Amino acid sequence: MPRPRRRQAGVAIITVLLVVTLATLIVASLFWRETVTVRSVENRLALAQVRWIEAAVLDWAEVVLRIDQNSTGNVDHLGEVWALPVAETRLDETVTGGAQIADSDRNASLAGQVFDAQSRLNLNDLIIQGRPSQAHREAFERLLGLLGRPESLAAVLQLRLQRAYPPIVENVQLPATALPLLKVNDLRAVPGFDDDTVAALRPFVEFIPKTIRHARGVTTTENLRVNINTAPAEVLAAAIPGIDLQTARQFVEGVRQRTFFASLDVARSQFIGAPELPDELLSVGSNFFLVAGVVRFGRVEAQSEALLYRGAGRVERVWQHRY
């Protein structure tokens, strides 16, 4: 008779263990769900704070550019406030809209810089008013040659852009047969532009929109000039016929480190040989600026880049890309 009792006792113990195990799993699952939910809410709040900081940074950049325009007029150079980089800076609750960041795990910081978009060749100007621009194509050919890339790619890209920006014939705008190229990475879709070529071009070219839509209407921004006060040597050597890369570097690393130029005539006298500076390609001021930076808040890190257009008494946000 004692043997069946021992069996029943063993079954009872096993049943209790199973129940305890099942209850433990259910409780652990509930705690896990709660942890995931809390983390998700925290991440959403952190992302919202990051977006708030990004908007504040762009507001700051717009104010700085407006003040610069009021103080220095149509001349822009790398010695101005807007060109100073912002090293990684920790933010307090004033900047983060009241978010509590005293916890070391939720530090908020930002780093970034404003760049002159017109220190680069604007590839959209390969087509001006629906027609191919020989001067801009030749400048792009020279840039490709300096970078060791086939100069024939300039004509290939010009044909591609012609499809996106067709001419006006008898006061009628012909329909576009291709979408515009918006970013330098879009060059990968053009035959002949491989990853190495796009990487080589990235510091020296940009696609700046031909029109800017804003509250007051539409502004046409074709035929932008390269700013001689901010452009790197490679871009200047491409934009100025008859000079080599060494001459451009001597100008950039020499006299331009000490001063800036309010006119092309004065800048011309500082080049070896005093070459002609084409006014259809060069200027001393800029209207387009890139704001690039990274914002960190808690577990969220966001990199973004925005293009700003500075017109008469106003600054417009053209686009913003997040990575």
pLDDT of the residue at 94: 55
Q: Which pTM does this prediction carry?
A: 0.84
- Per-residue pLDDT, averaged over 189-197, amounts to 96
CA triple 218-135-131, angle to 5 deg? 50
CB atoms inside a 10 Å sphere around CB 199: 12
How distant, in Å, are the alpha carbons of 43, 62, 209, 265, 295 from that of 40? 5, 33, 38, 60, 19
Q: How much is the pLDDT for 101?
A: 45
User: 9-13, 166-170, 214-218: which range is least confident on average?
Assistant: 9-13
Cα–Cα distances in angstroms (integers) from residue 230 to residues 79, 88, 118, 120, 235, in the given order:
10, 24, 8, 9, 10
pLDDT of residue 203: 97
Work out the end-to-end distance of the chain between its first and last CA atoms, rounded to an integer number of angstroms. 76
111 or 91, greater pLDDT: 111
In whole angstroms, what is the distance from residue 226 CA to residue 69 CA? 18
Output the pLDDT for position 102: 44
Q: Report which secondary-structure segment, H or E, holds 206.
A: strand 205-206
**Among 46-50, 218-222, 307-311, the least confident range:** 46-50
* Closest residue by Cα to residue 137 from 120, 124, 118, 148: 124
The pLDDT of 265-281, averaged and rounded, is 94
* 207 contacts 162 by C-beta, under 8 angstroms: no
Ramachandran angles phi, psi of 269, nearest 5°: -65, -15
pLDDT tens-digit map of 201-210: 999 999 999 9
Collect all residues with Cβ–Cβ distance below 8 Å to 286 and sequence separation of at least 6: 76, 116, 117, 118, 119, 227, 230, 310
State the pairing for strand pair 108-116/86-90. Answer: antiparallel
Q: CA–CA distance from 51 to each of 30, 54, 320 (Å)?
A: 32, 5, 12
Confidence of residue 90 (pLDDT cuts 50, 70, 90): confident
| Residue with the larger pLDDT of the pair 199 and 300 | 199
